[in-house]
Amino acid sequence: MTGRIQMKTALAIIISFALITAITASAISDEYEVTIIDPPQGYEMSSAFGLNTLGQVVGAMIDSNGNYYAFAWDNGTITILDSIDPASAFYDSGSWRITDDGKITGYSSNNEGNPHAVIWDIATGTPIDLHTGNVEGNISTTIGINSNGQVVGAAEIPVPFVESVFHAFIYDNTNGFQDLGTMNTSGYIEGGYSAAVSVNSSGEVVGVAQNNSWNFRPFIYTSSEGMIPLSIDPALSSGEWGATIINDNGLIGGVALFADIDSLSYPWIGTEAFPYIWNDSASSPVAITMPALFPNGVLCAVNNSGSMVGSMWNANEEEPLFHAFIYDSSNGLRDLNDLVTTDSDVVLQFAGDINEKGEIAGYALQNGIMRAFLLTVSNPELEGDANMDGVVNILDIAACINHITGMVDLSEKGIQNADMNRDSTVDILDVIAAINLILGM
C-alpha cells in the first residue's frame, strides 16, 4: 500500500473517525430544554462537541472566512481559547472534550497551518502544545481525555518514501507521549494508520487501526496488553470499522463505514455507517436498530450507565437530513428532536456529548444556520429519591434497603435516583451516600 492516493484515502478515514466523535447521563427525561449558544460578534456559526458535569461546553466558532476558533461556554459566557500562534494567518482551532477540572482537548494550528495537539485550561484559555518536542511529523490532534488527565489522539509519523502515516497516541504528565502503533505487524510503512478516539478512567483506549490486510478495524488498548482487535460482524467485513467511545464499565460503541472515500471530506455525506455496541472487549458487536427514515448513524459519547448519543441520517438521500439521537438499552434509539419543546426553526442534528446530569451538547440548524446547543433535563432526577415521592428522607433509606435485600423492587427511575455513586448498582454504598445527603454531610 503505497503512494499519495492510498495515504490520502487512509487519512480521510482517520480524520472522519475523529470528527464523528468530536467523545454521560444516568437518567433521561422525556423532555429537554434547549439553550442555543449563539456566536459572539465577529463569528457567524457555532458548534459544540463536549461538555462536563458542570455544564461547561466546548466546541468551535466559525467566522465569515470559514476559520474555526476553539471556545468554551460557561453559563452564558463564551471564551475564545488562545491559539498556539495568535499571529498566524492560519488561525484554526477546535476543542473536543472538557473534564470536570476544566482541562480541554483539541487542536490549534501553528504559523505554517499545521494543527497541533493541545490542552487548554478553561481558567486561562492558554494552550499547552503537546506536539512540539513529542511528535516528529507536522500534524497531530487530541481527541479524548479522562478524569485522570490522560489524553488520546492521532499524530503524524514520518516514513521514508511515502511521506508519513498517522498513529494513535496516549499522553499524560507522568509517562509523556506514547505512540500506540497499529495492528499491522508487517513492518511495512510503519504499520499504516491508527487513531485513538476515547479513553476511560482506567486508561483503556479505543479507536481505529489498520491490520495486516490494511483494513481499518476497531481496537482496545491497555497498558498491560497493548493494542488488541475487537471482533466485527462478519456480514460487514468489507467495511471500515472503528471504536469511537468507551465508558468506565468497559461498554464500547463504534461504527462500520461504507463510502466513497472522496465523500469523507465531510464525514457523513454519502456515507453508509452502522453503529454497533460491544458489551465488553471480549464480546461480539451488537447492531443498534435504526429507524427506517435514518438507517445510518454514529455514536459519539457514552456514560457510565450506558446512555449513548450521536447523529443519524440516510446516506441514500442526495441531501441527507441529520438528526441527533439518544440510545439506551431500555428505551432503544430516540430522536432528540422528539424529546424537546422548541421552535420549528431548530433541528437538532448532532449530539456530541452527554454528562451525568443528562445534559447534552451538540449542534443544530436554526433557520438553516449552524448553532451550538445545550440540552438540560426539564424534569431532572432527584438524587436519593428512591421511592419517587419528591423528597429525600428516611423512607428512601428504607426503600433502598428493601430493594437490596430483595423484599421490594424499586422502579426504574427509583433505581436511577438511588444510584448515588453512579456505578449502575444500588448497594450499601448508595445507602451510606443517601444518609450523608440527608444529614447534610
Question: Residue 18: inside a domain, yes or no?
Answer: yes
| Judgement on whether residues 283 and 422 belong to the same structural domain of the protein | no
| Judgement on whether residues 211 and 127 belong to the same structural domain of the protein | yes
Helix 428-439 × helix 394-404 angle, to 10°: 180
pLDDT at 304 over 90: no
The gap from C-alpha 31 to its chain's centroid, in whole angstroms, comes to 22
pLDDT at 99: 96
Mean pLDDT of 96-109: 96
| Judgement on whether residues 419 and 273 belong to the same structural domain of the protein | no
Q: Nine-digit cell at 358?
A: 443528562
| Judgement on whether residues 188 and 45 belong to the same structural domain of the protein | yes
pLDDT at 102 over 70: yes
Domains: count for the chain: 2
Question: Residue 408: inside a domain, yes or no?
Answer: yes
More confident residue, 15 or 187: 187
pLDDT at 26 over 80: no
pLDDT at 390: 63
For residue 378, is it left (φ>0), alpha (ψ between -120 and 50) or beta?
alpha
Pairwise CA distance, residues 440 & 402, whole Å: 23
pLDDT tens, residue by residue, 214-254: 999 999 999 999 999 999 999 999 999 999 999 999 999 99
What are the beta bridge partners of residue 366? 346, 369
| Judgement on whether residues 309 and 410 belong to the same structural domain of the protein | no
pLDDT at 260: 52
Q: Name which of 54, 109, 92, 98 is nearest 72 in CA terms.
A: 98
Dihedral Cα 210, 214, 218, 219, nearest 10 deg: -40
pLDDT at 243: 96
pLDDT at 6 over 50: no
One DSSP character per residue, 157-222 reads EE-TTS-EEEEEEEEETTTEEEEEE-S--S-SGGG--EEEEEE-TT--EEEEEE-TTS-EEEEEEE
More confident residue, 437 or 221: 221
Candidate from 182-191, 320-329, 359-368 with smallest mean pLDDT: 182-191
| Judgement on whether residues 274 and 403 belong to the same structural domain of the protein | no
Mean pLDDT of 431-441: 82
| Judgement on whether residues 234 and 111 belong to the same structural domain of the protein | yes
Question: Residue 385: inside a domain, yes or no?
Answer: no
| Judgement on whether residues 287 and 404 belong to the same structural domain of the protein | no
Q: Nine-digit cell at 246?
A: 468507551
| Judgement on whether residues 257 and 402 belong to the same structural domain of the protein | no
Question: Residue 382: inside a domain, yes or no?
Answer: no
pLDDT tens, residue by residue, 324-345: 999 999 899 999 999 987 666 8
pLDDT at 381: 65
Mean pLDDT of 56-68: 94
pLDDT category at 389 given cuts 50, 70, 90 is low
* Mean pLDDT, all residues of the chain: 86
One DSSP character per residue, 24-73 reads --S---S-EEEEEEPPPTT--EEEEEEE-TT--EEEEEE-TT--EEEEEE
pLDDT at 270: 58
Can you give the residue range of the structural domain that contains 78? 4-377
pLDDT at 437: 84
pLDDT tens, residue by residue, 143-181: 999 999 999 999 999 887 777 889 999 999 999 999 999
pLDDT at 363 over 50: yes
User: What's this model's pTM, rounded to 2 decimal places?
Assistant: 0.80
Last residue of one domain, picked from the residues 345, 377, 409: 377
| Judgement on whether residues 313 and 184 belong to the same structural domain of the protein | yes
Candidate from 143-157, 238-252, 278-292, 380-394 with smallest mean pLDDT: 380-394
CATH number at residue 360: 2.120.10.30
pLDDT at 21 over 80: no
Pairwise CA distance, residues 109 & 118, whole Å: 10
More confident residue, 173 or 87: 173
More confident residue, 189 or 416: 416
Can you count the helices (H) and strands (E) in the chain? 4, 28
| Judgement on whether residues 356 and 422 belong to the same structural domain of the protein | no
Question: Residue 81: inside a domain, yes or no?
Answer: yes
Question: Residue 353: inside a domain, yes or no?
Answer: yes
Q: Nine-digit cell at 390?
A: 419528591
Question: Residue 21: inside a domain, yes or no?
Answer: yes
| Judgement on whether residues 367 and 414 belong to the same structural domain of the protein | no
More confident residue, 437 or 39: 39
pLDDT at 25: 31
Pairwise CA distance, residues 195 & 207, whole Å: 6
Question: Residue 384: inside a domain, yes or no?
Answer: no
pLDDT at 204 over 50: yes
